[in-house]
Structures are given as structure tokens and as C-alpha cells.
């Protein structure tokens, strides 16, 4: 316990986070992080055996500090599917920009590193669960479209709310966070709900 939560370890995590926040992606090197934390490059390896493990630890640290899980859990209070969807998109959609830097680095690593892939998949599983809860609520309301199975609905919603999708709209197309949230609600609604015309 005292080992795991050492001062230095925490400082490394915070610096990694800050650096990736400023410049999302894979540009940040181990030496940059060491310099930012005011220690030698080797000292970083003393705490984290590989870059992948450091990134994974940083995401976990972030999730802990920001307390995603309880933020996502809030949406479960809502009664109707519609309300749940809105609460969920509010919670997750606004969480994305806070983790974007680290997420992007992990996403880039995913292709080559097994461990990074597993860590990312694990975190995304939480989001998927949230999507599942939303779909279930819609189903209960009897509002779910018949064009998709529950499984497909979950996956479609999950993909719609992916970090990459957010990235494309907000970072590449320049949508504001507010626009993103608003339109995601509309789109998800349109996608999941039966549209009788």
C-alpha cells in the first residue's frame, strides 16, 4: 500500500496526465515524463516497467480521481429510457474531453501492445454496460426500434459514443462540446427509437 501510493509514483502519473493533456497522442516520451516529474528517466522505470504499463496506470489513476464509475452510475437513477439516455450521454460525453489525451495515447498503443489493448477494452466495457442499461430501459418502455436486436442497439450506441467519434466531430470538425452533447442525444434517440411516420 505504502509502496503503491508513493509520492513519486503519484507525481509521475500526474505529469504523464498533464503532458498528454497538452499534447494528446503518442508524441510524449518516457524522458519527457521523467523531466516533467523532476526525476531521472530510469527512476520512471523503477515504478513502471514499460511505457504501456505507465499509460494503463495513468488511465486507472484518472478514472479513480475523476470517479467515472459513480458519474456513469448516476444515469441509473433515471426512470424512462429517454431520461437515462440523456443522463448517460451527459456523464460520459463530458468525461471524454477530460481523458482524451491519455485515451489517444492508449488507443495508439493498442495496435502493438497486448496489455494496452486489454486495459482499453476493459475501460470500454464500462461504457458498454452503460449503453446496455440505456437500451434495457428503452426496451422496457416499449420504445425500442424493431429494426435492431438489443445487442445491436447496444453496439450501435456504443460506437456512436466512442472516443473516436467524439474526436472526429469535436476535434476535427470543430463542434463545441455543447453541440456534441445535444446532437448525440438526438442522433441516439433517432437511432434507437421506433420512428412512426
Partner DNA sequence: CAAAAAATTGACACCGTGTAAAGTTGACAT
Partner DNA sequence: ATGTCAACTTTACACGGTGTCAATTTTTTG
119 binds DNA (CB under 7 A): no
The nearest distance, CB 9 to DNA, in angstroms, is 7
Handedness of CA 157, 160, 164, 167 (dihedral sign): negative
177 binds, among DNA, a second copy, none (CB under 5 to 8 A by kind): none
Name residues whose C-beta falls within 8 Å of residue 52's C-beta, 6 or more positions apart in sequence. 109, 113, 115, 116
Count of residues in contact with DNA, rule CB under 7 A: 20
> Contacting DNA (CB under 7 A), which of 10, 14, 39, 108?
39
Instruction: Fill in the per-residue mask, 103 to 122: x = in contact with a second copy (CB under 8 A), - = not in contact.
Output: -x---x--xx----------
State yes or no: residue 196 binds a second copy (CB under 8 A).
yes
187 counts as binding DNA under rule CB under 7 A: no
Distances (CA, A) of 146 to 134, 150, 167, 192, 194: 16, 9, 30, 9, 7
Among 73, 148, 171, 181, contact with a second copy (rule: CB under 8 A): 148
Of residues 42-71, those binding DNA (CB under 7 A): 42-43, 45-47, 49-52
Q: How far is the CB of 81 from DNA (least distance, A)?
A: 44
Q: Which does 79 bind (CB under 5 to 8 A by kind): DNA, a second copy, none?
A: none
C-alpha cell at 10: 503519484
* Residue carrying C-alpha cell 509520492: 7
* CA angle (119 as vertex; 113, 121 as ends), nearest 5: 100
Q: Which residue has the cell 504501456?
A: 52
Of 60, 162, 171, 181, which one interacts with a second copy (CB under 8 A)?
Answer: 162
HSE on the CB side for 50, CA within 13 Å? 9
Judge whether 76 and 133 are in contact, CB under 8 Å. yes
Q: Say how many residues touch a second copy, by CB under 8 A.
A: 30
The distance in angstroms from the start CA to the end CA of the chain is 60
Distance in Å, CB of 54 to DNA, minimum = 7
Select the residue interacting with a second copy from 10, 11, 136, 165 (CB under 8 A).
Answer: 165
Amino acid at each position: 500500500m505504502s509502496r503503491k501510493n508513493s509520492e513519486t509514483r503519484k507525481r509521475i502519473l500526474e505529469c504523464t496526465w498533464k503532458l498528454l493533456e497538452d499534447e494528446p497522442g503518442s508524441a510524449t516520451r518516457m524522458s519527457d515524463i521523467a523531466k516533467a516529474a523532476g526525476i531521472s528517466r530510469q527512476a520512471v522505470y523503477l515504478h513502471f516497467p514499460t511505457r504501456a504499463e505507465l499509460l494503463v496506470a495513468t488511465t486507472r489513476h484518472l478514472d479513480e480521481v475523476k470517479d467515472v464509475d459513480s458519474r456513469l452510475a448516476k444515469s441509473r437513477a433515471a426512470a424512462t429510457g429517454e431520461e437515462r439516455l440523456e443522463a448517460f450521454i451527459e456523464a460520459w460525453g463530458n468525461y471524454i474531453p477530460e481523458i482524451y489525451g491519455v485515451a489517444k495515447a492508449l488507443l495508439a498503443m493498442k495496435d502493438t501492445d497486448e496489455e494496452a489493448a486489454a486495459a482499453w477494452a476493459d475501460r470500454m466495457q464500462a461504457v458498454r454496460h452503460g449503453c446496455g442499461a440505456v437500451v434495457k430501459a428503452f426496451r422496457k418502455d416499449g420504445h425500442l426500434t424493431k429494426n435492431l436486436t438489443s445487442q445491436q442497439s447496444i453496439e450501435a450506441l456504443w460506437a456512436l459514443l466512442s472516443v473516436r467519434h467524439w474526436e472526429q466531430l469535436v476535434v476535427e470538425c470543430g463542434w463545441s462540446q455543447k453541440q456534441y452533447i445535444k446532437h448525440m442525444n438526438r442522433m441516439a434517440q433517432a437511432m434507437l427509437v421506433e420512428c412512426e411516420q
